[in-house]
């Protein structure tokens, strides 16, 4: 008798088990390859987005610093010239320059030089200090001066920074007048400012493992900025290292906005790493985002472990369960990988179409909902940004923001609010306008209104309108200001002070002695959108506004007239001299007037 072989049950079990294992063994690697390619595509898209975010953040930071340097340079140059003939005018301009520097978050020190590079003046932030304090009074290096003249501006690493391991950047810009260079302004960024910015992006995106993930390099492949604690140091050359060992730096287009990605290379710790980069053409800088594959492909390792468990599960639960799991695992994963690729290309209308009735379907639906949310959010942010930017050209900033975010409407109507109104008029302007060209009149008014508007904004007021040579400002119009009367008088004082500071210059250029007549009153006014549905303006109307206008008409050159309501509101905060009752047009009873003593 022949020995008994395997039982039919065993054969069927083996056959069924083989039927289950073969698809798993065949489809499992395919699914893993698909997932790997999807994860790499998603990681590449993420790195590109982070690189773009880094260049945008750095561009905004250095742009803000250079803009501040330009404004302060002009103020310090004017102050140096004005101090010889009017020390008080020079002091006021220096005060404005210091206020600009103190408000700039990334600036440490700012120095102004003459046309030959000789030191004129400098400002160092009182709260931060700066790396340039020891070299502030030395001449501007000829190489930096030549570079700034040639390119219109120049960025460079500061000489002998206190700590060579952090970024210490300096910005130089020529000051021009009549097409000629009259001097230079040099700004020293706060040490480590860009590294902290880059580190913040890395931490927000990649957590504690992100110290080496994001860096900024220049066109010589030297590190400009990197997160504190990273293995690469500021100033270190990357030539032949990291991503530049896997690609030719000559393929990077430094003069235009350019993005790219690399293949696998050995990262800082020797691990296989991938990177993406984005150029900042204006400065010829490169934002690099790199991550080891062990981090970006962590989900793949989890899938590999799950696959091994699935093999054991197939052996235990036989063919049907194994076959079902294989069939249900590959097709949805392919769809989800395809969806992740399309989302990586910002195709936010794409959907996976997974209908398995399980977690994969939920994942596909969740990815679709995420894409819809991102699309809607980006559209809403872009819309609000455009609306706010456009409205702020015509409305106060706070009002423009409230309209853009929907907390305030632009419908016709208004509300009664306690306000203080300031009217400021240029004395003897009519005779100046009659003997001057229209171009000179417009240029002069723009200069005056720029100063008066800045004064109003500094004291929290709203510039309502310009009427010929008169400016109307309202305090307390868009937000509650219990001290609106004090703000109004402070603004009136500063208007006279700054006009006096510039009076000599205007006299020399326009042959006109500039003095203001100012009227201030406080009370209730109707504030809101007035006009028609097709043409409206945000303004204030009422007896308070009319009274301020009447006081301005009565005010002499250099005089500020104040109503009794304003005098009562400020109490002893300001020295006011009573001028007795006066009859005002439109008023039944005489109104007691006061003069602001300055």
Return the DSSP state at 477. S
pLDDT of residue 388: 63
- Asked whether residue 221 carries a pLDDT value surpassing 80, the answer given is yes
Mean pLDDT score, 233-259 = 77
pLDDT of residue 326: 53
> Out of 1-5, 243-247, 430-434, which region has the weakest mean confidence (pLDDT)?
1-5
| Per-residue pLDDT tens over the stretch 294-339 | 776 665 566 656 656 666 666 666 545 444 545 555 667 777 777 7
Mean pLDDT score, 220-248 = 79
Q: Which residue has better confidence, 524 or 135? A: 524
Mean pLDDT score, 9-37 = 62
Q: Which residue has better confidence, 311 or 199? A: 199
Q: In what order do the strands lie in the sheet with 107-114?
A: 119-124, 107-114, 180-189, 169-177, 154-157
pLDDT of residue 347: 75
Cα-Cα-Cα-Cα torsion 388, 392, 397, 402, nearest 10 degrees, comes to: -40
pTM here? 0.45
| Per-residue pLDDT tens over the stretch 480-505 | 899 999 999 999 999 999 999 999 99
Q: Which residue has better confidence, 586 or 557? A: 557
pLDDT of residue 317: 61
* Cβ atoms of residues 468 and 442 within 8 Å: no
| Per-residue pLDDT tens over the stretch 519-558 | 999 999 998 888 887 777 888 999 999 999 999 999 999 9
Mean pLDDT score, 456-467 = 91
**How far out from the chain centre does Cα 443 lie?**
31
- Asked whether residue 123 carries a pLDDT value surpassing 90, the answer given is no
Max distance between CA atoms of the chain, in angstroms, equals: 138
pLDDT of residue 160: 55
* Cβ atoms of residues 441 and 433 within 8 Å: yes
pLDDT of residue 489: 96
Mean pLDDT score, 371-375 = 78
pLDDT of residue 222: 85
Closest CA to 322 of 25, 35, 8, 34: 25
pLDDT-based confidence at 119, cuts 50/70/90? Answer: confident
- Asked whether residue 409 carries a pLDDT value surpassing 90, the answer given is no
* Cβ atoms of residues 175 and 77 within 8 Å: yes
pLDDT of residue 47: 78
Cα-Cα-Cα-Cα torsion 59, 60, 65, 71, nearest 10 degrees, comes to: 120
* Cβ atoms of residues 322 and 21 within 8 Å: yes
Q: Which residue has better confidence, 473 or 366? A: 473
Q: In sequence order, what are the residues at sequence separation of 6 or more whose Cβ sits closer than 8 angstroms to the Cβ of residue 392?
A: 400, 401
pLDDT of residue 182: 84
pLDDT of residue 130: 44
**How far out from the chain centre does Cα 442 lie?**
32
- Asked whether residue 42 carries a pLDDT value surpassing 90, the answer given is no
Using H for helix, E for strand and C for coil, what is the string for 406-435? Answer: CCCCCCCEEEEEEEEEEEEEECCHHHHHHH
Treating both helix axes as pointing N-terminal to C-terminal, what angle do 484-510 and 438-458 enclose, rounded to 10 degrees? Answer: 150
Q: Which residue has the tokens 């803000």?
A: 64
- Asked whether residue 25 carries a pLDDT value surpassing 50, the answer given is yes
Using the CB atoms, write b or e for 534-568: b if 16+ within 10 Å. Answer: eeeebbbebebbbbbbbbbeebeeebbbbbbbbbe
What is the distance between the alpha carbons of residues 531 and 387, in angstroms, rounded to a whole number?
21
Q: Which residue has better confidence, 208 or 318? A: 208
pLDDT of residue 551: 94
pLDDT of residue 164: 56
pLDDT of residue 132: 41
Read out DSSP for 166-202?
A: S--EEEEEEEEETTEEEEEEEEEEPTTHHHHHHHHHH
- Asked whether residue 278 carries a pLDDT value surpassing 70, the answer given is yes
- Asked whether residue 76 carries a pLDDT value surpassing 70, the answer given is yes
pLDDT of residue 488: 96
* Superfamily of domain 408-596, CATH level 4: Nucleotide cyclase, GGDEF domain (3.30.70.1230)
pLDDT of residue 167: 65
Q: Which residue has the tokens 């020079």?
A: 90
Q: Which residue has better confidence, 358 or 391? A: 358
Mean predicted lDDT score pLDDT of the chain: 79
Cross-strand bridge partners of residue 153: none
Parallel, antiparallel or unpaired: strands 559-563 and 516-531: parallel
Mean pLDDT score, 196-200 = 82
pLDDT of residue 60: 83
Mean pLDDT score, 511-516 = 93
């Amino acid at each position: 008798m022949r020995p008994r072989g395997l039982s039919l049950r065993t054969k069927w079990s083996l056959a069924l088990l083989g039927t289950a294992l073969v698809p798993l063994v065949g489809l499992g690697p395919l699914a893993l390859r698909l997932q790997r390619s999807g994860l790499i595509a998603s990681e590449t898209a993420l790195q590109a987005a982070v690189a773009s975010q880094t260049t945008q953040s750095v561009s905004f930071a250095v742009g803000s610093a250079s803009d501040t340097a330009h404004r302060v340079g002009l103020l310090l140059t004017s102050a140096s010239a004005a101090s010889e003939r009017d020390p008080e005018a020079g002091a006021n301009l220096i005060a404005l320059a210091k206020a600009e520097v103190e408000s700039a978050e990334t600036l440490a020190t700012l120095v102004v030089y003459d046309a030959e590079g000789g030191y004129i003046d400098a400002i160092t932030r009182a709260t931060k200090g700066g790396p340039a304090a020891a070299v502030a009074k030395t001449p501007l290096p000829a190489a930096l001066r030549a570079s700034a003249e040639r390119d219109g501006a120049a960025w460079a690493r500061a000489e002998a920074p206190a700590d060579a391991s952090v970024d210490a950047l300096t910005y130089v810009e020529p000051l021009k007048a009549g097409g000629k260079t009259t001097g230079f302004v040099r700004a020293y960024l706060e040490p480590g400012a860009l590294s902290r910015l880059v580190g913040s992006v890395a931490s927000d995106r990649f957590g504690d493992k992100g110290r080496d993930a994001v860096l900024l390099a220049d066109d010589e492949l030297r590190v400009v900025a990197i997160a504190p604690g990273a293995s690469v140091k500021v100033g270190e050359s990357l030539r032949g290292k990291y991503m530049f060992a896997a690609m030719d730096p000559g393929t990077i287009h430094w003069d235009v906005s350019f993005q790219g990605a690399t293949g696998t290379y050995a990262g800082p710790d020797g691990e296989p790493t991938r990177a993406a980069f984005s150029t900042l053409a204006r400065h010829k800088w490169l934002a690099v985002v790199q991550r080891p594959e062990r981090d970006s492909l962590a989900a793949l390792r989890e899938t590999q472990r799950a696959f091994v468990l699935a093999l054991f599960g197939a052996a235990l639960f036989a063919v049907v369960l194994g076959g079902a799991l294989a069939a249900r695992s590959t097709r949805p994963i392919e769809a989800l990988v395809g969806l992740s690729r399309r989302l990586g290309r910002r195709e936010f209308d794409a959907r996976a179409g997974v209908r398995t009735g399980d977690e994969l379907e939920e994942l596909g639906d969740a990815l679709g909902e995420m894409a819809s949310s991102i699309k809607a959010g980006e559209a809403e942010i872009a819309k609000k940004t455009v609306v706010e930017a456009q409205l702020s050209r015509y409305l106060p900033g706070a009002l423009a923001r409230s309209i853009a975010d929907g907390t305030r409407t632009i419908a016709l109507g208004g509300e009664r609010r306690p306000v203080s109104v300031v009217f400021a008029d240029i004395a003897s302007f009519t005779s100046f306008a009659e003997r001057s060209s229209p171009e000179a009149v417009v240029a002069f008014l723009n200069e005056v209104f720029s100063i008066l508007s800045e004064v109003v904004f500094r004291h929290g007021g709203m510039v309502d309108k310009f009427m010929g040579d008169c400016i109307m400002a309202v305090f307390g119009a868009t937000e509650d200001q219990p001290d609106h009367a004090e703000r109004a008088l402070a603004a009136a004082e500063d208007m006279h002070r700054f006009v006096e500071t510039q009076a000599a210059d205007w006299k020399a250029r326009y042959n006109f002695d500039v003095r203001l007549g100012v009227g201030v009153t406080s009370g209730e006014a109707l504030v809101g959108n007035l006009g028609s549905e097709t043409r409206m303006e945000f303004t204030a109307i009422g007896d308070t506004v009319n009274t301020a206008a009447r006081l301005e008409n009565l005010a002499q050159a250099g005089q500020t007239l104040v109503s009794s309501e304003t005098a009562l509101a400020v109490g002893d905060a300001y020295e006011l001299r009573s001028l007795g009752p006066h009859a005002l047009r439109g008023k039944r009873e005489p109104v007691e007037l006061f003069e602001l003593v300055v």
